[in-house]
Chain A
Amino acid sequence: MAELSATPPKTEDRPSALREFWYYFSENRGAVFGLWVFSAFVLCAAFAPLLAPYDPTEQFRNHILQPPAWQEGGSWAFPLGTDPLGRDMLSRLIMGSRYSFFVGIVVVCVAVTGGVIVGLLSGFAPKWVDTMIMRVMDIILSFPSLLLALVLVAILGPSLTNAMIAIAIVFQPHYVRLTRASVLAERQKDYVTSARVAGAGKARLMFKTVLPNCLAPIIVQAALSFSTAILDAAALGFLGMGAQPPTPEWGTMLAEAREFILRAWWVVTFPGLAILVTVLAINLMGDGLRDALDPKLKRS
């Protein structure tokens, strides 16, 4: 998994391009650091049942709200302490990484697939279809994303799956606009005209000729939406509209811990820290990806 995230699939058969990518990517030390943290997160999600010392739903009734090991009253049996029901925080956090990773992957895949296809259509379709698609996207963008996701979940019913569907729908317009903008720029170029003259059909033009040249900004956006998706899913979980208890999803854990904030700092601090570190690592990586893949964008 870790190797996969380091090598974008599109450059697999061109080692020189890959080396070039790595050269630019590794120039940004923050990005490399982000990649390491993200790899650790992915490994943690993959091997969660092996890493977690206890079952995340197992309740130790004698150890309710036990502080972390280094504090008075803590023990190394529960390194990060226990929650109000006596469940091991560390095990819940480790299992929680699975949900966040899953949310990120599913939301990005759905939003990218849908957005790229609609964006390509919009870029190649007659003007009136294009206008219609863009107006629909404008309409979706008029709603603040979290609010729209919240209302969609209210319609579909609160669950992690529905939260993912809602977030994917809300993210769609960004990919549509991004793809369409690149397609419109690429379409003017000579290689597209020559492909068309050579007799390439619409579908081939769209997916084989133009799409690969539009991928760079889409990959960068995908990395950034991965982190936003994790944040939004956690926010929905926090509001009680995402994963439902006793699921050890980080946002849901925070919501459950809210009433204990003044009595037990660890039940509140650790899940949020997990979200922050993961999101930060992905954003660092996203900045590096942008520098490496998209020379047109400013190096800042």
Chain B
Amino acid sequence: MFGYFLTRLGMFVPTFLGVTLISFMFIRVLPGDPIIVMAGERGMTEERYQEMVEKLGFDKPVLQQYWDYLVGVLHGDLGESFVTKKPVWDEFFALFPATLELSLCAMIFAVALGLPAGVIAAVNRGKFFDRALMSSALVGYSMPIFWWALLLIIVFSGNLGWTPVSGRIDLLYYFPSVTGFMLIDSLLSGQPGAFGSAVRHLILPTIVLGTIPLAVIARQTRSAMLEVLGEDYIRTARAKGLAPARINGLHALRNALIPVITVIGLSVGTLLAGAILTETIFSWPGIGKWMVDSIFRRDYPVVQGGLLMIAVIVMLVNLLVDVLYGVINPKIRRR
């Protein structure tokens, strides 16, 4: 087991270096001089220009620059935002809880509906429920989520007036951020109605972001269940006279869960990509919106730092999934 872990970690290090190399190169392959871009329309004096070149290390050899960048990254130094002048690292971690909260809710939504849907479809294979559920899953899987978000806004915010259109909480509530998770903070604040407001703000973004993972999980659960239901031990369980609910729920689902867990782990990338669109539409103050805004503001250190941090998160989660998978399934370890 330890050997497997080391091998997997050995693959992590070169990939991490590659990812830092890509984010390092990003600011240098941009068309035009980043310092001129940074100065914007005001321009900049010759002295100030030289000062900036020195500060950003553009006068050093490229290898030296990369080394400095790498050392900086490992010490949590991702540079400063051109716009806010704050360290990118701090900005990232100030906004990350918002994205994490939204992603977790979306994942819970997707799993809570996707697993039962997949099980029901597999148990009723070929019947009406199966067809209806799998057709819906395919529609969900094909959904342009930015359009889905607009439709939900038209219906639930525009026509019915049930949910707010943007933000994380109503402006009337103000309380200090303790955990960064609005649901928890609003409860801690003790203000009446704050929690409800936070929940109402979360509903639509959660549905939008969770739709594609939901469809993927439902499809994956169904095919994993179908495979397991054909196994001999299920026939044995049936022959013993166990109740169908017990067989499906306990014997089959438990073994069908392994591939499903992998899919859940691997959808972290999908969630973060979806967060870009969802957060932009709902003005959700998280990483995705921050990245899009920074791209438009040409705030390159932020784009560079954000790109690196998101890639590292995806890599860490994949590493975790692989290791967990090795723990669950001994066959993988020995490969």
Give the B-binding residues of A (Cβ under 8 A). Answer: 30, 135-136, 138-139, 142-148, 150-151, 154-155, 157, 227, 231, 234-235, 238-241, 251, 254, 258, 261-262, 265, 268-269, 271-273, 275-276, 279-280, 283-284, 287, 298, 300
Q: Is there contact, CB below 8 Å, between A283 and B142?
A: yes
Give the A-binding residues of B (Cβ under 8 A). Answer: 11, 14-15, 18-19, 22, 26, 29-31, 135, 138-139, 141-144, 146-148, 150-151, 153-154, 158, 219, 222-223, 226-227, 269-270, 272-274, 276-277, 280, 291-292, 295-296, 303, 307, 310-312, 314-315, 318
CA distance A142 to B319 in the complex (A): 11
- Return A146 CB to nearest CB of chain B, in Å: 4
Q: Is there contact, CB below 8 Å, between A135 and B14?
A: yes
Q: Is there contact, CB below 8 Å, between A136 and B18?
A: yes
- Which residue of A has the minimal Cβ distance to B220? A300
CA distance A135 to B153 in the complex (A): 42
Given contacts A154-B303, A239-B280, contact A272 B144 (CB under 8 A): yes
Q: Is there contact, CB below 8 Å, between B315 and A155?
A: no
- Which residue of A has the minimal Cβ distance to B145? A235
Option from A151, A227, A258, A271 in Cβ contact (under 8 Å) with B142: A227
22 intermolecular pairs with C-beta atoms under 8 Å apart = A30-B135, A135-B15, A135-B18, A143-B269, A145-B269, A148-B307, A150-B276, A150-B295, A231-B142, A239-B276, A254-B147, A258-B150, A261-B154, A262-B153, A272-B147, A272-B148, A272-B151, A276-B139, A280-B139, A298-B226, A300-B219, A300-B223
Given contacts A135-B15, A155-B31, contact A268 B147 (CB under 8 A): yes
Given A254-B147, A279-B144, A280-B139, 7 more pairs with CB closer than 8 A: A135-B14, A155-B26, A239-B276, A241-B295, A261-B153, A272-B148, A283-B138
Q: Is there contact, CB below 8 Å, between A139 and B154?
A: no
Option from B223, B277, B291 in Cβ contact (under 8 Å) with A298: B223
Q: Is there contact, CB below 8 Å, between A231 and B144?
A: yes
Option from A138, A143, A238 in Cβ contact (under 8 Å) with B277: A238
Q: Is there contact, CB below 8 Å, between A144 and B269?
A: yes
- Return A83 CB to nearest CB of chain B, in Å: 15
Name the prevailing secondary structure of the A interface residues: helix
CA distance A106 to B291 in the complex (A): 27
CA distance A283 to B14 in the complex (A): 35
- Which residue of A has the minimal Cβ distance to B298? A154
- Which residue of A has the minimal Cβ distance to B219? A300
CA distance A284 to B26 in the complex (A): 38
> Which residues does chain A contribute within 8 Å of B18, judged by CB atoms?
135-136, 138-139
Given contacts A145-B273, A272-B144, contact A151 B154 (CB under 8 A): no
Name the prevailing secondary structure of the B interface residues: helix
CA distance A268 to B126 in the complex (A): 36
> Which residues does chain A contribute within 8 Å of B227, judged by CB atoms?
298
Q: Is there contact, CB below 8 Å, between B154 and A147?
A: no
CA distance A241 to B293 in the complex (A): 12
Q: Is there contact, CB below 8 Å, between B144 and A234?
A: yes
- Which residue of A has the minimal Cβ distance to B303? A151
Q: Is there contact, CB below 8 Å, between B291 and A147?
A: yes
Q: Is there contact, CB below 8 Å, between B144 and A275?
A: yes
Q: Is there contact, CB below 8 Å, between B303 and A276?
A: no
- Which residue of A has the minimal Cβ distance to B147? A272
> Which residues does chain A contribute within 8 Å of B14, judged by CB atoms?
135
CA distance A150 to B151 in the complex (A): 24
- Return A239 CB to nearest CB of chain B, in Å: 6
> Which residues does chain B contribute within 8 Å of A231, judged by CB atoms?
142, 144
- Which residue of A has the minimal Cβ distance to B223? A300
- Which residue of A has the minimal Cβ distance to B226? A300
CA distance A279 to B310 in the complex (A): 28
Q: Is there contact, CB below 8 Å, between B141 and A283?
A: yes
CA distance A279 to B141 in the complex (A): 9
Option from A146, A227, A300 in Cβ contact (under 8 Å) with B222: A300
> Which residues does chain A contribute within 8 Å of B226, judged by CB atoms?
298, 300
Q: Is there contact, CB below 8 Å, between A254 and B146?
A: yes
> Which residues does chain A contribute within 8 Å of B142, judged by CB atoms?
227, 231, 276, 279-280, 283
Option from A151, A239, A268, A280 in Cβ contact (under 8 Å) with B307: A151
> Which residues does chain A contribute within 8 Å of B296, judged by CB atoms?
240
